[in-house]
Amino acid sequence: MATFFAISFVKSQQLVPSIDSLRHHIYYLASDELKGRKTGEEGGKLAADYIKNRFQTYGLEPISGNSYSYPYQLMRTHKDYAVVTYKENILFWPWHLYMVSNYKQNDTLFNKLVFAGYGSDAELEQLQLNGKAIAFIADQPQEAYQVIQNIQNKYSIITFFVLFTKKNVRVDNAWSIDYKMYDYMLPSDFEKLKSIKITEPWASPPSGDSLNIFYCFPNVMRNVFDKTDAELETLAKDNKNQKGQLLPAFPEPEIEIFISYSDSLDIAAVENVGGFIKGKDTTQTIILSAHYDHLGEDYGQLYHGADDNASGTAALLENARLIALDAQQGRIPERNILFLAFSGEEMGLLGSKAFVSQPPFPLNQVVLNINMDMIGRWDEQHEMNKNFVYLLTAGHQSRKYFKLGKHGLNLPSGFTVSKNPGFNEKLTFKYGSDHYSFLSNKVPIAIFFTGLHYDYHTSSDIAEKINYPNLTIITGLVYQYITKVSNNKTSYPLPSHK
């Protein structure tokens, strides 16, 4: 009997995922105990530990030495206060001044401040700029960044005051700045306002030199320059249009200012989790990924994230188990398969960005990234027939990779593989998950998902609402898919990176 079973196992090319394992993973990952698996918090760590334990049990090789952890850092700053002193006046604008990319937590800078209109080359040439702080007008942040880059290429300047001409400008994707009217502060108000802290969102540590960028709104600089908003703008516009003489816009060409500020900085050590099944050819790798983090808790609401993305994480684990079993039974894949669970996704793909910036092997050895994000529910289009999955592909050989899903797999009857999601799903496909970090590094991608629904990013994305039979089918399709890609080097070659 024993012999008989051994032979039948070797012959069998298709293991099947277990609905009970998938359910078990999701009920744990989306439980109250994990508190929404927020990156950098206890629940996120518990989720990572769970995945590591499973990888170890299944017999995967650790991604790094003897560890399944692939760590990276996040930072965030608390803007405690920033003060600019000009003559005897304290000018203090907690909502108007922002500092970015600066690791110094406390500092006082003495600077000569030079006004340079819109910061065009013609304007800059008129001024003595090196070592000074520079103020210039911008309509939009994008424009400001370009000016700053241009100035930095030519002069040694680290302190910039960007004077926005509009009241509400979106400075970053993450937040917009409120417009509040504070021109001059009484010392007593100043003391009060010093206690206000602004905490920025978690972000990847910036690279490059430190830089102070103060974003200022129209009412701010008129005090320093003793001009009305309109006068400042007219002067800048004249400069921009090169009407008449090019002039620095002040009675005094340079103004002496003191800037002092206090920030505090949090650094969080966080982790992606990874494990390998080594292939016969270890110079090529297919990456199967899913993010395990979610939104945590907010105002007493717990975001369980059962579909987003305990569903994808469960399918990742189940695929790891099956492919490890295949390998143990002698069906070694032709190429490496790396199982990768990302954190930081909900904060802006931070985990996958960190991964692609410091991968454990060169990214030009990656054949394909298969990403799973939200595969446990169904979208509006599929209320009537829930037996489906979207497969979206991009990059090298994307048509072939779609065709494989549509025609190359053993699909249950009545099950559809579609590449035509709704509008919102299309957006998600482009930027919405970790595959984007790979695609922007020229790694082809294939993503499996079942679309958006009313519980997306709400506290009612819970384990009870998952469509387990369909999730089991999709998990099995991913297993067939990855097996076919990994074993057919001729049809699915490594993309050439010339």
Cβ-based nearer residue to Zn ion, 17 or 344: 344
Report phi then psi at 96, rounded to 5: -105, -20
- Residue closer to Zn ion by CB (options 373, 461) is 373
Can residue 461 be called a binding residue for Zn ion (CB under 5 A)?
no
In the complex with Zn ion, the residue whose CB is nearer, 284 or 343, is 343
> What is the rounded CA–CA span in Å between residue 190 and residue 188?
5
Q: Which of these segments, 134-142, 279-287, 309-317, 405-413, binds Zn ion (CB under 5 A)?
A: 309-317
CA geometry: angle 217, 223, 224, nearest 5 deg: 95
- DSSP 3-state of 486: helix
Q: Which is nearer to Zn ion, 200 or 308 (CB)?
A: 308
Vertex 352 angle, CA 47 and 46, to 5°: 10
Pick the closer one to Zn ion by CB: 326 or 461.
Answer: 461
Residue 40 CA to its chain's centroid (Å) = 14
**Tokens matching residue 224:** 């320093």
Which positions from 50 to 89 touch Zn ion by CB under 5 A, shown as an x/- string?
----------------------------------------
Q: Is 309 in the site for Zn ion (CB under 5 A)?
A: yes
Helix, strand or coil for residue 493? Answer: coil
Size of the site for Zn ion (CB under 5 A): 3
Pair of tokens at residue 363: 């990214």
Interface region with Zn ion, contact rule CB under 5 A, candidates 64-72, 300-308, 335-343, 423-431: 300-308
Q: Please tell me the distance from the alpha carbon of residue 318 to that of residue 19, in angstroms, as a whole number.
A: 9
Cα-Cα-Cα-Cα torsion 39, 41, 44, 50, nearest 10 degrees, comes to 150
Q: What's the closest the beta carbon of residue 202 comes to Zn ion, in angstroms?
A: 16
One of 200, 263, 293, 308 touching Zn ion (CB under 5 A): 308
Spell out the residues 6+ positions from residue 436 whose beta carbon is closer than 8 angstroms to its own.
349, 352, 430
Q: Which residue from 392, 150, 159 is spatially nearest to 260, judged by alpha carbons? A: 159
Nearest distance in Å: CB 308, Zn ion: 4
Measured from the CB atom, the residue of 133 and 290 that comes closer to Zn ion is 290
Least Å from the CB of residue 75 to Zn ion? 23
Strands 297-298 and 301-302 come out as antiparallel
Contact 282, 265 (CB under 8 A): no
The stretch among 75-83, 148-156, 322-330, 372-380 that binds Zn ion (CB under 5 A) is 372-380
Stretch that binds Zn ion, among 120-128, 366-374, 410-418, 473-481 (CB under 5 A): 366-374
Cis before 309 (ω within 30): yes
Q: Could you tell me if 270 and 346 are in contact, meaning their C-beta atoms sit under 8 angstroms apart? A: no
Identify the residue among 373, 425, 434, 461 touching Zn ion (CB under 5 A): 373
Contacting range for Zn ion; rule: CB under 5 A; set: 60-68, 189-197, 255-263, 307-315: 307-315
Quick one: which segment of 172-180, 260-268, 373-381, 474-482 binds Zn ion (CB under 5 A)?
373-381
| Sign, Cα dihedral of 471, 473, 479, 480 | negative
Contact letters (x/-) for Zn ion, 252-291, by CB under 5 A?
A: ----------------------------------------
CB nearer to Zn ion: pick between 132 and 291: 291
The yes or no reply on residue 293 touching Zn ion (CB under 5 A) is: no
- Tokens (6 digits) for 96: 């108007």
Nearest 5°: CA angle at 468, between 462 and 474? Answer: 115
**Contact indicator for 372, 392 with CB cutoff of 8 Å:** no
Stretch in the footprint of Zn ion (CB under 5 A) among 32-40, 220-228, 302-310, 445-453: 302-310
From the CB of 69, what's the least distance to Zn ion, in Å?
21
- Choose between 164 and 342: whose C-beta lies nearer to Zn ion: 342
Cβ 428 to Zn ion shortest distance, Å: 8
Q: At closest approach, how far in Å is the CB of 346 from Zn ion?
A: 7
CB of 447 to Zn ion, least distance (A): 11
Q: Count how many residues are written for the chain.
A: 498
Distance, CA of 286 to CA of 289 (rounded, Å): 10
Residue 118 is classified by DSSP as: T
Which one, 308 or 461, has the nearer CB to Zn ion? 308
Stretches 263-271, 336-344, 367-375, 473-481: which one binds Zn ion (CB under 5 A)? 367-375
Contact (Cβ atoms closer than 8 angstroms) between residue 434 and residue 352: yes
CB 44 within 8 A of CB 293: yes
Is 175 or 431 the residue whose CB approaches Zn ion more closely? 431
- Which of 236/310 has CB closer to Zn ion? 310
Residues that bind Zn ion (CB under 5 A): 308-309, 373
